[in-house]
Structure 1
């Protein structure tokens, strides 16, 4: 009985298939990585969107989330690892960054 359990367990742990695809995982992270989701500022497909408009010293100010759907992976990954003025720091792993990137690419390849 122990051997059967061990064989099943080893096959389960080292199985190449996952319960979800990398793109599904990327979607989950994009929509809610750890707090506010990327989608809130960068739009459904990474196209960028208006975050807020306000007045400061009688001057209209527009805060825009930039488009991220045209970036190469290296630029995308570097941007996620650097501190930004408005963007929160998420401390994502390389696999998480890759999954988010693949999700954004999949959203834009269907257009």
Structure 2
């Protein structure tokens, strides 16, 4: 009887310890989000959005009327999560400059967490 109680206690402790290992990851959500923000699928969000807190000029060009146009990436740190997901998951035509990254839900959440908690 005493051995059975000890075995049950030992088993419960091991399950608890294993659960802690599973819930703790090698890097934090912030670090994972930073990694994805800088290079999710070949080109990072930071290339166009910089730190995400202001509009960034991507290019200036002349249109057919020889008028100077400016292509800007908008700030993204104040965007709602719903809008953020919508922009990242909507298929785009050739007229939209935002690339498709085919991110998983977890990757999108991590990037959003990163830009919302970006350290100054």
TM tier, shorter chain?
0.7 to 0.9
Matched, 1:39 2:46: yes
Superposed, 1:1-111 pairs within 5 Å as 11=18, 15-57=22-64, 58-84=66-92, 85-107=96-118, 110=119
Q: 1:24 to 1:69 in 2, by over 3 A?
A: same
TM-score, scaled to structure 1: 0.80
Q: Which deviations, in whole Å up to 9, do the C-alpha atoms of 1:1-49 show, x marking residues without a partner?
A: xxxxxx7xx9389521001011110000001100111011111234331
Equivalent residue pairs, number: 101
Q: Which deviations, in whole Å up to 9, do the C-alpha atoms of 1:34-85 show, x marking residues without a partner?
A: 0111011111234331100111231101010111111111111111101341
Task: Structure 2: state its 5+ residue gaps.
Answer: 1-13
Task: Structure 1: state its 5+ residue gaps.
Answer: 1-6
**Partner Cα separation in structure 1 for residue 19 and residue 60 of structure 2:** 51
TM-score, scaled to structure 2: 0.75
